[in-house]
Amino acid sequence: MAILTIEDKTYICQADETVLDALLRENVNIPYACKKGTCHSCIVQSPSTLPPEAAQAGLKNTQKKQRYFLACQCHPEQDMAIKLPDQSEFYTDGTVVANKMLNRNTLLLIIAFKDAFEFNAGQFVNLQRPDGLTRSYSIANTPQESNTLEFHIRRLPGGKFSEWLHDELKVGDIISVSEARGHCFYLPERSGQGLLLIGTGTGLAPLAGILTDALAQGHSGPIYLFHGSREVEDLYRIDEMRQLTQQHQNFHYIPCISGKHVPEGFNRGRVNDVALALLTDLKGWRVFLCGHPDMVNQMKIQTFLKGAASTDIYADAFLATPV
Amino acid sequence: MTDNNITEEATMSTSLYERIGGEAAVNAAVELFYRKVLNDYRINRFFGKSDMDKQIAKQKAFFTMAFGGPNNYTGQDMRNAHEHLVKMGLDDSHFDAVMEHLGATLVELNVPADLIAEAAAIAESTRKDVLGK
């Protein structure tokens, strides 16, 4: 028998029951379908206790690390505090310590916190304006760098939130930030594996975090970063990336321009086409995709068809910032 | 262990789903099967290209069912889920193509022929509902 806690309520899980059985018996509203660990409908999180191994079978490794588990496969080994997927988020106030332009339309925003902010490079948070308007943005730095979060914010014409960040938010202002979420991040395992990072526009943000993290953790396999946009003026961090290729032999940076004018040193074409032409066999590779939803959806399939296992293809559920 | 327990375990281990290898077998089969389907010009338009993760979840449910594993599908569910595809022209030839890939996938995974036949029979039993006949 174990005690299950959800927010401020407790439930008893009897010896022969799974967590799902117990919650359904108690009329807790939890999604489920197959009850056999296949459909993943009943995925929940246990932030403070390690779930039983059997309850994490079949999940992505990044989900396992965040202690997600399948309620239908979980016979608790101890009392558990459980977070349901739709449970309300916890926000922390941060202070803007830097805002400057990375290129003609992309803002670098750095927010500092009093205490360490828990996240994995590549995850995203929700930023909230005082009036409650909320948008998701990917984190561009790694947790090793002091108590700050870095964001790359593209100005969207008519985008209420991005215009506010660009035009009104000043150094010293306070902004609310949610807990970090998402499964698109690097785990230091299979360090000889090839890593393929493909991003368009500010899709570079999470990829830059993942790249820094992988290099810092001594990833030894080849790492390819393809960053694309229509015009060269919309790329950024070009010199930094080129410098990194000097420092790390296994890192390859391929900036791509899909528009007409392609300066020397840049590849002509869309990132997806350039990447697939260069890397023809992705069997055993780990893939990270961020940016334009069409590119991401198409590349999930293309990299899968080129041999990457579906569990090795990471892209965040949120893809574009809504206006 | 009592006799009762032995009988119970014996019964459980005879389910096709368990004999084929359970969830691990489903995962391996889906990787192979979905690649085959996406590469097949005859049918790939019926396997929506918008959200691969959702498609893979659907394929997992399909294989779990074909292996006689736990599923909550009724004939009516099958009809409802495929109704829009029937409107797009889904017919017996497409169903046959899927059956072909199902068989080839299981052969590739070295599943014994008698188990493949069992799985194929279960999948075949959904034909009328899937095609809305």
Cβ distance A298 to A198 under 8 Å?
no
Residue A28 gets the label, from left (phi > 0), alpha (psi -120 to 50) or beta, of beta
**Residues A56-70: pLDDT tens digits?**
988 888 889 889 999
Residue B44 CA to its chain's centroid (Å): 16
At residue A164, the pLDDT reads: 95
At residue B50, the pLDDT reads: 65
Q: Residue A297 and residue B35: Cβ atoms within 8 Å?
A: no
Q: Residue A297 and residue B49: Cβ atoms within 8 Å?
A: yes
Task: Tell me which chain B residue has its CA closest to the CA of residue A34.
Answer: B71
At residue B72, the pLDDT reads: 66
Q: Residue A34 and residue B26: Cβ atoms within 8 Å?
A: no
Q: Residue A39 and residue B30: Cβ atoms within 8 Å?
A: no
Which residues of A fall within a CB distance of 8 Å from B66?
A: none
Per-residue confidence in pLDDT tens, chain A, 323 aa: 899 999 889 999 999 999 999 999 999 988 887 787 776 778 999 999 999 999 998 888 888 988 999 999 999 999 999 998 766 677 899 999 999 999 999 999 999 999 889 899 999 998 999 888 888 899 999 997 789 999 999 998 888 999 999 999 999 999 999 988 888 899 988 999 999 999 999 999 999 999 999 999 999 999 999 999 999 999 999 999 999 999 999 999 999 999 999 999 999 999 999 999 999 999 999 999 998 888 888 899 999 999 999 889 998 755 444 33
Q: Residue B38 and residue A305: Cβ atoms within 8 Å?
A: yes
At residue B55, the pLDDT reads: 85
* HEC letters along chain A: CEEEEECCEEEEECCCCCHHHHHHHCCCCCCCCCCCCCCCCCEEECCCCCCCHHHHCCCCHHHHHCCEEEHHHCCCCCCEECECCCCCCCEEEEEEEEEEECCCCEEEEEEECCCCCCCCCCCEEEEECCCCCEEEEECCCCCCCCCEEEEEEECCCCCHHHHHHHHCCCCCCEEEEECCECCCCCCCCCCCCCEEEEEEHHHHHHHHHHHHHHHHCCCCCCEEEEEEECCHHHCCCHHHHHHHHHHCCCEEEEEEECCCCCCCCCEECCHHHHHHHHCCCCCCCEEEEECCHHHHHHHHHHHHHCCCCHHHEEECCCCCCCC
Does the pLDDT of residue B13 top 80, yes or no? no
At residue B4, the pLDDT reads: 44
Mean pLDDT, to the nearest integer, of B5-16? 53
Does the pLDDT of residue B5 top 70, yes or no? no
At residue A266, the pLDDT reads: 96
CA distance A30 to A33: 10
At residue B49, the pLDDT reads: 65
- What strand order describes the sheet that includes A313-315? A267-268, A251-257, A223-229, A195-200, A286-290, A313-315
Is B74 an interface residue toward A (CB < 8 Å)?
A: no
Cβ distance B115 to B25 under 8 Å?
no
Name which of B2-16, B22-36, B97-111 the model is least confident about: B2-16
Indicate which of B37, B41, B52 best probes the interface with A, i.e. most A CBs within 10 Å of its own CB. Answer: B52
State the count of interchain CB pairs (< 8 A) between A and B. 52
Which residues of A fall within a CB distance of 8 Å from B71?
A: 34
Alpha-carbon separation of residue A101 from A74, A151, A153, A236 (angstroms): 48, 11, 9, 10
**Residues B20-69: pLDDT tens digits?**
888 888 889 999 999 999 999 999 999 876 678 888 888 888 888 888 87
Is B41 an interface residue toward A (CB < 8 Å)?
A: no
Interface residues of A toward B, Cβ cutoff 8 Å, are: 33-40, 57-58, 297-298, 300-301, 304-305, 309-310, 313
Q: Residue A33 and residue B64: Cβ atoms within 8 Å?
A: no
**Residues A184-216: pLDDT tens digits?**
899 988 999 999 999 999 999 999 999 999 999
At residue A263, the pLDDT reads: 94
* Residue whose C-alpha is closest to residue A115's, from A151, A150, A148, A66: A148
Cβ distance A108 to A102 under 8 Å?
yes
State the smallest CA–CA distance between residue B72 and chain A in angstroms: 7
Mean pLDDT, to the nearest integer, of B107-133? 92
Tokens, residue A275: 């990447």
- Name which of B30, B35, B70 is nearest A34 (Cβ-Cβ): B70
At residue A87, the pLDDT reads: 66
State the smallest CA–CA distance between residue B45 and chain A in angstroms: 13
Q: Residue A310 and residue B35: Cβ atoms within 8 Å?
A: no
